[in-house]
Amino acid sequence: MKTGRTTTCRFVGLMMLAAFMGVVVPGSAPAVQWRPLTRTTHHDVALDMDSLKLTPLGRVTVWLRFTPLGEPQRKLAATEYGEKLYRLHLEYYEIDCSEQSDVLQLIDIIGPDGKRLARMKGGGPLAAIFPGSTLDLAAQKVCPSFENEAVPDEEVEAPDSSDATKTDTRQISEDIRARISGALQKTQTEPDSQAAWRDLGNAYYDGDQPQQAIEAYDRALALSPEDADVLNDQGAMYRQLGDFTRALANFEKALKIAPNNLESLYNVGYVNAFDLNRMGRALEAWRRYLELDRTSETARQVQGFIERYGK
pLDDT along the chain (311 residues), means of 10: 35 31 32 77 86 87 90 86 90 91 91 86 81 88 71 56 44 75 93 95 87 94 96 92 92 96 93 90 95 90 87 70
Side-chain-side CA neighbours of 262 within 13 Å: the count stands at: 19
The neighbouring-strand residues paired with 30 are: none
Nearest CA among 171, 159, 122 for reference residue 33: 159
Note whether 272 and 278 are within 8 A (CB).
yes
Domain borders along the chain are 13-146, 169-309
Question: What is the per-residue pLDDT for 186?
Answer: 94
Q: How far apart are CA 274 and CA 281, in angstroms?
A: 11
Beta strand 43-54 with 127-128: parallel, antiparallel or unpaired? Answer: unpaired
Residue 86 CA to residue 234 CA, distance in Å, equals 19
H-helix or E-strand containing 89?
Answer: strand 88-96
pLDDT of residue 25: 29
Q: How many CB atoms lie within 10 A of CB 140?
A: 12
Residue 256: φ, ψ to 5°: -65, -35
Report helix, strand and coil shares of the chain as percent, to nearest 5: 50, 15, 35
What's the CATH fold of domain 13-146?
A: Lipocalin (2.40.128)
Helix, coil or strand: residue 226: coil
Domain range 169-309, CATH class: mainly alpha
Residue 71 sits at the vertex; the CA angle it makes with 185 and 115, to the nearest 5 degrees, is 105
Q: Would you give the distance in Å from CA 28 to the centre of its chain?
A: 25
> What CA–CA distance (Å, rounded) separates 39 from 44?
4
Q: Which residues contact 61 (CB under 8 A, 6 or more apart)?
A: 51, 52, 53, 54, 55, 92, 93, 94, 95, 105, 156, 158
Determine the pLDDT at residue 66: 93
- Specify the pLDDT at position 240: 83
Distance CA 25, CA 308 (A): 26
